[in-house]
Amino acid sequence: MGAYYYDGGLRKRTKTISITSGKGGVGKTTLISNLALYLGKMGKRVLVLDGDLGMSNVDIMFGVRSRSNIYNLIIGEREISDVVTNVADNVDLLPGGSGIYELQDLDVYQKKALIDQVDELAGEYDYMLIDTAPGIAENVLYLNAAADEIMVILTPDPSSLTDSYSLIKVLNERYRVNNFSVLCNFVKDEKEALRCFQRVSDVAMDYLNVRLQYKGFVPLDQNLRNATKSQQLILNSNPRCPSSFAIKHLGEKVSGLGQIQEASGGIQMFWHQIVGVA
């Protein structure tokens, strides 16, 4: 039924998008926070899952501080409504915290309890954006593999290109992921962005059975650096600077006609796969 499915009534099918990278320091959390803010301003309901362990700071970018996370759900200390935190208009945050590590080791009762809790979110959101940790740790891989779309963030740094290819390679070989989106960050202009994309795309197409889609770029912008250092969202502090326009353009692509309809299983299927009951 397109963007909706029947489950006792018409409900939204959430598209899940992981935003990931082969290495740290590529601006992933800044990007996901501003993208969520933009989608929210466009009237889309967004849930952000902060799965970047040890560097979980999406809440700080929005000027709030989460007091609980998924682990509190796992051990029964909190209900899902207690853990999900509103951070902006139409934008909620689900902090992952250290609990992400425990998700694959749940017993059958814990799995059912968590799924019952998460099922309450079904139909509430248009998008779930997943901020993964960088690299190829198992925790990163299964969060990516469960998403409808994997968006890999590249920078011109040679190590970023090499590590991004490694991430794509492992996801393709171990999880049979064939399609990836690529966004280039910290580039001088689109010409440099396309060069970065092409370098990774050429190697991937030569050696892997994958398809990479160029999603756009965000320019190297001192305004964005200053906003991030001061823990502000650039779309709020300087909505007309080059990086703001680029993030808005990305948001338009993400929320374009037909995007939500591509959701393969929605938020429920994502969580069933995460805890191994798909």
Domain count, the chain: 1
In tens, the pLDDT along 76-106 reads 899 999 999 999 999 999 998 777 888 878 8
Q: How far is CA 167 from CA 153, 232, 270, in A?
A: 11, 30, 20
Range in 29-38, 47-56, 80-89, 105-114 with the lowest mean pLDDT: 47-56
Q: How far is CA 147 from CA 142, 181, 261, in A?
A: 9, 12, 14
Range in 3-7, 21-25, 88-92, 96-100 with the lowest mean pLDDT: 3-7
In tens, the pLDDT along 246-263 reads 999 999 999 874 444 455
**Residue 234 pLDDT > 70:** yes
From CA 247, how far away is CA 219, in angstroms rounded? 10
Residue-level pLDDT at 264 = 59
From CA 142, how far away is CA 205, in angstroms rounded? 23
Range in 65-69, 82-86, 264-268 with the lowest mean pLDDT: 264-268
Q: Compute, in degrees rounded to 10, the torsion defined by CA atoms 30, 33, 34, 39.
A: 160
In tens, the pLDDT along 148-202 reads 999 999 999 999 999 999 999 999 999 999 999 999 999 999 999 999 999 999 9
Tokens of 261: 């309809």
Residue-level pLDDT at 276 = 77
Q: Is 152 in a helix, a strand, or coil?
A: strand
From CA 75, how far away is CA 105, in angstroms rounded? 12
Tokens of 36: 């969520």
Determine the average pLDDT of the residues in 62-79: 88
Residue-level pLDDT at 54 = 61
**Residue 4 pLDDT > 50:** no
Residue-level pLDDT at 203 = 96
**Residue 9 pLDDT > 70:** no
pLDDT > 70 in the chain, percent: 91
At 117, the amino acid letter reads Q
Residue-level pLDDT at 56 = 62
From CA 152, how far away is CA 79, in angstroms rounded? 32
Q: How much helix, strand and coil, in percent to the nearest 5, is found in the chain?
A: 45, 20, 35
Looking only at Cα atoms, what is the longest distance across the chain?
53
Closest CA relative to residue 70, chosen from 90, 49, 88, 91: 49
Tokens of 274: 């995460």
- Give residue 72's domain range: 4-274
In tens, the pLDDT along 197-231 reads 999 999 999 999 999 999 999 999 999 999 999 99
From CA 150, how far away is CA 159, in angstroms rounded? 20
Helix and strand element counts for the chain (H, E): 13, 10
From CA 44, how far away is CA 81, in angstroms rounded? 20
